Amino acid sequence: MEHTEQRGTAPPAGVGALSLPARVAVAVVLGIVTVAALAHLTLVFLHVAPENAVSARHREVVSGYVYPEFEQNWKLFAPNPLQQNVAVQARAEVVARDGGVTVTAWTNLTARDAEAIRHNLFPSHVNQNELRRAWDFFTGSHDERDRPQGPRGALSEEYLRRIVLSRIGPETASTRVRKIQVRSAVTPVPPPVWAPGADGTSGSGDRTDGDRSATGTTYRTLPWWKVTPGDVPGTGGAGRAAVVGGP
């Protein structure tokens, strides 16, 4: 420390050795940089902090600055971790070559993601985030009766359709897809057996989010969607991407 300070003051080229205009210039820069850094951190703080009087009053300033490039969310597994497995499943109404119309069985697309992640040191975002976040996007932009809320709602439907069509095979092999239907299957993760009150006799009084006795799977089934050839992404997997359209 000592010699750091010595060096700090010793060089003749320090601020003190500068001419007055140069010193003023450095002072101005120092002021601007300090104010900018503090303003940035204050706005980011207001963005990540819980809503409070200050952030509510300056909401437009905060979001105007933070979005889109400084957006951030660090509620990692907080306030509570997700306590249910959400599986996205899909089925299709298909036309066979002979013109017969059938409905395929439900395909569990999330189970395929899980399979790709299993025993993989470097799972891909394609399996970890794509479908999972698309479903979050859908539920976040729709009301409880599956009606889209604003333009994001329509976008999320299109996104989900495209993901499903790029993955739904081989159930739709050698047929043409006319409509698809998507549902979610939500299965709660049971609390650990060693947890207090795991025997169901005590200790569950403060558990407000989630009923520990609920272990069954609940479904949310969306309406049938008509699909067009334009709904099939060009990046679907071989044997997985649906063929859409036709007579």
Site residues for other proteins, window 53-82 (CB under 8 A)?
A: 67-82
Give the one residue of 126, 215, 217, 246 binding other proteins; rule: CB under 8 A.
Answer: 126
Which residues between 89 and 108 bind other proteins (CB under 8 A)?
Answer: none
CA pair distance 221, 219, nearest whole angstrom? 6
3 makes contact with other proteins (CB under 8 A): yes
Q: C-beta of 150: minimal distance to other proteins in Å?
A: 10
Q: C-alpha 102: how far from its chain's center?
A: 34
111 makes contact with other proteins (CB under 8 A): yes
Q: Which of 196, 35, 173, 26 is nearest to 97 (CA)?
A: 173
120 makes contact with other proteins (CB under 8 A): yes
- Three-class HEC string of 65-119: HHCCCCCCCCCCCCCCCCCEEEEEEEEEEEECCCCCEEECCCEEHHHHHHHHHCC
Q: Give the range of 96-104, 175-183, 190-198, 220-228 binding other proteins by CB under 8 A.
A: 190-198
Q: Give the range of 53-61, 132-140, 177-185, 215-223 binding other proteins by CB under 8 A.
A: 132-140
Q: Which of 168, 157, 175 is nearest to 243 (CA)?
A: 175
Give the one residue of 58, 65, 123, 225 binding other proteins; rule: CB under 8 A.
Answer: 123
Q: Which is nearer to other proteins, 122 or 147 (CB)?
A: 122
Q: C-beta of 58: minimal distance to other proteins in Å?
A: 18
Q: C-beta of 243: minimal distance to other proteins in Å?
A: 16
Give the one residue of 65, 95, 104, 137 binding other proteins; rule: CB under 8 A.
Answer: 137
Q: Which is nearer to other proteins, 54 or 126 (CB)?
A: 126
CA pair distance 182, 118, nearest whole angstrom? 24
